């Protein structure tokens, strides 16, 4: 193997090229350099907004679960898709340890690159939530009630500050130390009021946007705390919302129905009978492309569930790959 060094004087970039095969390995540090939040926002927003010249190929079920829990205490998860318009296919491999996206040439299925997925996943998740808030939050400055202070919280706050008129943040989390540390760091970085609060109720009441980013499997957010007009971003993989919230929701919007029906708050509501499939208003792309209505009244309670689209994971990985090679990045729709 060899490490390429093209680029800034005195800076050795950590792109490893396997000499025989020509496969690139782009590590997390290089992904961070090549994919700033502004790029992720632009790519994700364009992907939702633009009709595809060729339809992506995405299998069902969306995720393959290899359960190694009993013997090894691990679960291996695999997603895949093909983006014919970009000439690539991708396989996302992740679990509790390493996580990568393998890019392949769609014509030959020869491997092009292994792209570290830690930062890419965080930014893609954040960008989905931020562009949804940009389009669907109620009018006026955004007061955010954030539930959860894990690794996804910081990129979400950065992305919301770039995409919306974010004016205030209130953070609730399971541990005091995590929310206080996040609040102090983000107040300094964003130059706006960011407070750690003692309860989920304190974070949620009076917020115009509520974002849940936890690993909870039991309801954290109660219906009575939600104000008219609130945009709710349900971004965790488990159940975070009380089932009766669905009775107050004007529109349910998801990024990908096949994914959302199998996990998170949508799956929990379907099991509880507080939602049926016909209650789905739209997928995000339908709203962005004008096929379905977005916010129509300031008092609508809108639920957006961005559980993650493998097509956008591969889109961002391909963008990083092209930049790593010095190839002109292409728009999301190409």
Which burial class, exposed, middle or buried, applies to 16 when counting CB atoms under 10 A from its CB (0-12, 13-18, 19+)? Answer: middle
**CB of 227 closer than 8 Å to CB of 205:** yes
Model pTM greater than 0.85? yes
Residue 62 falls in which region: left (phi positive, over 0), alpha (psi -120 to 50) or beta: alpha
No. of H helices and E strands in the chain?
11, 16
User: What's the confidence (pLDDT) of residue 8?
Assistant: 40
User: What's the confidence (pLDDT) of residue 324?
Assistant: 94
* Concatenated DSSP letters of 70-89: HHHSEEEEEEEEEEGGGTEE
User: What's the confidence (pLDDT) of residue 54?
Assistant: 86
User: What's the confidence (pLDDT) of residue 332?
Assistant: 59
User: What's the confidence (pLDDT) of residue 330?
Assistant: 59
Q: In what order do the strands lie in the sheet with 280-283?
A: 194-196, 166-172, 142-147, 209-212, 231-234, 302-305, 251-254, 280-283
CA 285, 91, 314, 162 dihedral sign is positive
User: What's the confidence (pLDDT) of residue 240?
Assistant: 96
Q: Which residues of the chain have pLDDT under 50?
A: 1-14, 17-20
Rounded-to-integer distance, Cα 240 and Cα 218, Å? 6
Domain boundaries, the chain: 122-309
CA 63, 277, 233, 51 dihedral sign is positive
**CB of 144 closer than 8 Å to CB of 233:** no
Rounded-to-integer distance, Cα 239 and Cα 157, Å? 22
Rounded-to-integer distance, Cα 93 and Cα 190, Å? 33
Identify the residue whose tokens are 């541990």. Answer: 175
User: What's the pLDDT tens digit per position in 26-66?
Assistant: 999 999 999 999 999 999 999 999 987 789 999 999 999 99
Rounded-to-integer distance, Cα 90 and Cα 82, Å? 6
The contacts of residue 246 (CB under 8 Å, 6+ apart) are 252, 269, 274, 275, 279, 303
The CATH number of the structural domain formed by 122-309 is 3.40.50.720
Rounded-to-integer distance, Cα 97 and Cα 76, Å? 9
């Amino acid at each position: 193997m060899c490490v390429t060094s093209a680029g800034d004087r005195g800076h050795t970039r950590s792109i490893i090229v396997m000499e025989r095969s020509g496969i690139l390995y782009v590590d997390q540090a290089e992904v961070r350099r090549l994919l700033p939040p502004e790029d992720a926002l632009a790519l994700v927003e364009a992907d939702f907004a633009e009709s595809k010249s060729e339809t992506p190929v995405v299998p069902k079920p969306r995720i393959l679960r290899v359960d190694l829990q009993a013997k090894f205490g691990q679960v291996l998860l695999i997603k895949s898709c093909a983006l014919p318009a970009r000439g690539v296919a991708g396989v996302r491999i992740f679990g509790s340890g390493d996580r990568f996206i393998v890019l392949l040439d769609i014509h030959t299925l020869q491997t092009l690159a292994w792209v570290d997925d830690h930062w890419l996943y965080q930014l893609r998740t954040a960008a989905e939530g931020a562009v949804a808030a940009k389009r669907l939050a109620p009018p006026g400055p955004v007061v955010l009630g954030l539930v959860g202070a894990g690794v996804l919280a910081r990129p979400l706050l950065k992305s919301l500050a770039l995409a919306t008129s974010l004016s205030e943040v209130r953070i609730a989390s399971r541990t005091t130390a995590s929310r206080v540390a996040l609040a102090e760091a983000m107040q300094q970085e964003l130059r706006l009021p960011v407070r750690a609060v003692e309860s989920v109720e304190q974070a949620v009441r009076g917020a115009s946007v509520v974002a849940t980013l936890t690993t909870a499997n039991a309801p954290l957010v109660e219906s009575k705390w939600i104000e008219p007009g609130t945009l709710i971003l349900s971004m965790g993989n488990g159940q975070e919302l009380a089932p009766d919230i669905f009775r107050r929701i004007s529109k349910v919007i998801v990024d990908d129905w096949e994914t959302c029906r199998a996990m998170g708050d949508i799956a929990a509501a379907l099991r509880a009978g507080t939602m049926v499939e016909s209650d789905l208003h739209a997928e995000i792309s339908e709203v962005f492309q004008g096929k379905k209505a977005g916010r129509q009244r300031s008092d609508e309670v809108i639920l957006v569930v961005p559980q993650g689209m493998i097509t956008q994971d591969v889109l961002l990985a391909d963008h990083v790959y092209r930049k790593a090679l010095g190839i002109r990045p292409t728009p999301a729709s190409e």
